[in-house]
């Protein structure tokens, strides 16, 4: 970004020259916050892609051979997977809400993406994915939307503060 010319034609004072790196740092911080805010959208987009595959019961993947099933062992009971999903959703929502209250800038969407894919996998392995797809999808959509909202509201707030600071530096 180029330095603005002083309309008064006066030579800039040393203190004003010193603000250049500071302004650049603020701009960098704004860019970083924008990127951080977009992570939530990326997380949601990847989850939707995985869900599209799950809705088709992962029919594009090869089925488990008898040997693979023998190595992996029996699938856990579907009721246990469902109970685990309820417990996971509840604790994830409570943690996100408490993080939102604390106002931290951490994004845990990637970890949730892994857990939710795990639930899809377990239901798929137990041959109960078509019956339970919507439960995992609703849980994922809620958790990742809330994660996105948390990071987006934190970043919006921080970007506003940084822009105010930038405005003051450019005055």
Partner 1 sequence: MRSIAAKAVVPVAVAVTGFVVVCCILLYSFIKGDMLNSAIQREVSLAGIIVKSTRYAMLHDDRESLRNIISNIGEQSEVEHSRIFNHSGLIVYSSDPEEVNQLVDKKNAGCVGCHEKEVPATNLGPMEQARRFANEKGHHVVAITAPIYNEPSCSTAECHFHPANLKVLGTLDIGLSAEPLRATLATLAWRMVVFCLMVLVLTVGGVCALLRRNILLPITNLVAYANAATRGNTDAPPPGGIDEIEMLGQSLQSLALRLEKKDRELEALRGRGGEPVPTRPTPPDTFAD
Residue nearer to partner 1 on the CB measure, 51 or 132 = 132
Residues 6+ apart with CB under 8 A from 1: 24, 27
Among 37, 51, 117, 132, binds partner 1 (CB under 8 A): 132
CA gap 58, 52 in Å, rounded: 9
In the numeric block, which tokens belong to residue 93? 């929502």
The reply on whether position 166 binds partner 1 by CB under 8 A is no
Residue nearer to partner 1 on the CB measure, 61 or 97 = 97
Residues 49-78, interacting with partner 1 (CB under 8 A):
78
In the numeric block, which tokens belong to residue 92? 């994830």
Element (H, E) at 138: helix 129-170
With tokens 């701009």, the residue in question is 27
Among 38, 57, 145, 161, binds partner 1 (CB under 8 A): 145
CA gap 158, 31 in Å, rounded: 11
The reply on whether position 161 binds partner 1 by CB under 8 A is no
The reply on whether position 79 binds partner 1 by CB under 8 A is yes
Count the Cβ atoms, other than its own, within 10 Å of residue 151.
27
The reply on whether position 80 binds partner 1 by CB under 8 A is no
By rule CB under 8 A, what string of x and - marks binding of each residue 94-113 to partner 1?
--xx--x-------------
Least separation, in Å, of the C-beta of 42 and partner 1?
19
In the numeric block, which tokens belong to residue 16? 């004003």
Least separation, in Å, of the C-beta of 89 and partner 1?
5
CA gap 39, 135 in Å, rounded: 24
* Residue 40 three-state SS: helix
With tokens 């999903």, the residue in question is 85
The reply on whether position 129 binds partner 1 by CB under 8 A is no
The reply on whether position 141 binds partner 1 by CB under 8 A is yes
Cα Dmax for the chain: 82
Residues that bind partner 1 (CB under 8 A): 78-79, 82, 85-86, 89-90, 93, 96-97, 100, 131-132, 134-135, 138-139, 141-143, 145-146, 149-150, 153, 156
């Amino acid at each position: 970004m180029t330095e603005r010319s002083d309309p008064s034609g006066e030579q800039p004072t040393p203190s004003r020259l010193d603000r250049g790196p500071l302004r650049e740092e603020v701009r960098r911080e704004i860019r970083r916050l924008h990127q951080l805010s977009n992570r939530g959208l990326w997380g949601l987009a990847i989850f939707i892609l995985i869900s599209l595959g799950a809705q088709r019961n992962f029919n594009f993947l090869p089925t488990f051979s008898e040997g693979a099933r023998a190595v992996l062992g029996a699938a856990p009971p579907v009721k246990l997977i469902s109970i685990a999903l309820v417990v996971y959703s509840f604790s994830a929502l409570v943690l996100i809400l408490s993080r939102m209250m604390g106002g931290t800038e951490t994004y845990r969407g990637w970890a949730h993406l892994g857990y939710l894919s795990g639930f899809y996998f377990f239901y798929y392995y137990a041959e109960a994915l078509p019956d339970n797809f919507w439960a995992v999808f609703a849980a994922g959509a809620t958790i990742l939307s809330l994660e996105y909202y948390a990071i987006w509201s934190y970043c919006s707030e921080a970007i506003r503060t940084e822009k105010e600071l930038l405005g003051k530096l450019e005055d």
